[in-house]
Amino acid sequence: MTEASQTKLGVFDLGCGNGSLSHLIAEHGCEVVGVDTSAPGIAISRQSFPSVSLSKQIFTNSPIPICRTDLMLSYTNLM
C-alpha cells in the first residue's frame, strides 16, 4: 500500500445536526469533523456517535476548526 492510499479522507460537515451523516461518512473510513449551531443536536450526536468529532458553533462568529479538509459538505433539510 502506498502512503497516499493509507491516508484517510478529511471531511468537514458544516451544519451536521444530529451527526447521522457524519457518522455514516466516518464508518466508510473518513476522518470527520462536524459543526452545528444546535446545542441539542450536538448533544444527541455526541451521545449517539462518540467517535465522531462534533462541536457547537455559530458559523458567523467562530473560526472554523483546524483540521485537514479534503471535502466540505453542508446538507440541509428545510421544513
pLDDT in the model for residue 77: 54
In CATH terms, the fold of domain 3-65 is Rossmann fold (3.40.50)
pTM over 0.75: no
Side-chain half-sphere exposure of 58, counting CA atoms within 13 A: 2
pLDDT in the model for residue 51: 79
pLDDT in the model for residue 28: 92
Name residues of the chain where pLDDT drops below 50. 1, 79
What is the Cα–Cα distance from 78 to 37, expressed in whole angstroms?
15
pLDDT in the model for residue 14: 85
